[in-house]
Structure 1
Amino acid sequence: MKQLTSRSLVEAFALSEIDHRVWEAWVDESWRGWTGPHGGVIAALLIEVARRAGGRELPVRAVDQRFLGRPTAGQFTFRATAHPVGRSAVVVDVEAFQAAGALASASITFGRTIATGVADHAGAPAPDVPAPEHCSAFAMPPELLPVAAHFEIRPATGPLPLSGADDAMMCAWIALRPAMPTDAATLAILADALPPAFFPTLTTPVAVPTVALSMHLHTDLRTPAPQPVLVCTANASTGGGWSVDDIDIWDGGGRMLASARQTRRVLG
């Protein structure tokens, strides 16, 4: 199920610079998730705008995003400000707007790759799961979740969503459809591809919008990472109308690419 790159994130969402440090993009209804446009797509666009605003030559190291309002499908406007940090790092602050006002903000940290005297550590090893070609495809009904059509998901271990299981976790091989390059921006989309991690314990869906997302890159992605990638999500805690998930992503060779944490409101 390995895919060839067919288009970039810029092409997929018609991202263009319309003024100095001001960009526009279009997110159509096919990217609608449980409560609105897919949160990972908004995170991806914030990252790509930040890259164009000040981090072009440096790898993404960390993303810290907050939702400030409820987005809708359609046009988004982005404004960015770059803050150089010495000679090896840049932090770019980006805000996303629609007609209703500010919807999301993020600080994206870019940092140069350098050699040091500290031994490398590759991060947590990937779980031992079947190869993607030995895993059956799974998709939520498109009438329930249109964004599901943009992912090829092959559960590798753990329960399925809405199966009434005991375990609040999922692990699956995931690729984007149509294919896009695996970079920091698309890793944000892939990190948000699976439902909230407690969904396997349910039998009917509830609304669980993302309030905050953080993501940390474990590689500079100089070595390309083909899709599918292995995405595992586990519920860290749920209570009082809030839920926290931890997400890890590895490539097919077992290299850890990114880890993320999402804080969500539970509205059901």
Structure 2
Amino acid sequence: MKVAIVTGDSRGLGQAIADKFLNEGIHVIGLSRTHNDTLKEKADQKGVTYSHIRCDLSDSNDLTQGIDKVMYLAFQNDIEKVYLVNNAGVIDPIETVGQLDASLVNKHFQINVTTPILFINRLLKEADEQGVNVGIINITSGAAEKTIHGWSIYGSGKAAINQFTETAAMEQEKAGSEHFIIAYSPGVVDTDMQGEIRAAAESAFADVDKFKKLKEEGQLRSPSAVADVLMKLLSEEESIDNGRVYKLYDLIDQ
């Protein structure tokens, strides 16, 4: 039996990834603030289970309880493999340094950095204790490697996740573990987050018109198409380069 844990599964890329796992006959545990009825319907059609944990990842107590509930569900049966997709994320605050809102900065790092780190830490502990193999995918961004006006917080958080991914993978290899931990950069995807980006003021984000143009010209990829590329990568698990930051554009060119 295989299980996939997907954070931020209620919409966008998270929903698409959860849907793809269900298509593969893999049981899904979703974690987000809102429930997605279509995923439950898909699970019923495929003869697998979809469990949802309602959780506000910006609240540290809610996060701790949510992780506890997810781990209980993930390891209560005869498990062969557990996947974890750290997808949940926010873009705010989009603002220049000197004008940042402290509360938004704290919320951002809680969701985009602290949450995936704590999930990975707990999952590896549980998996090792129970002898279960895991595959971890952290959703990252090209912003981790670029200097983008107004995106100091988002880019810094994703850079932190990339570094954490590489370090955790190195530690697992030194320990002789078969777990894999990678990051996946999906490019520009047509999600609600893109709508938030396009709504930013030019004073806060100088490149806002560029992102508006991408939408107008139909250059945004659908969440489903981006999820398909990830699933193809996971289907060739034996060739996965542990610790690597995979970029959608490189995978499409292959």
* TM-score normalised according to structure 2 size: 0.31
Q: Which has the higher strand share?
A: 1
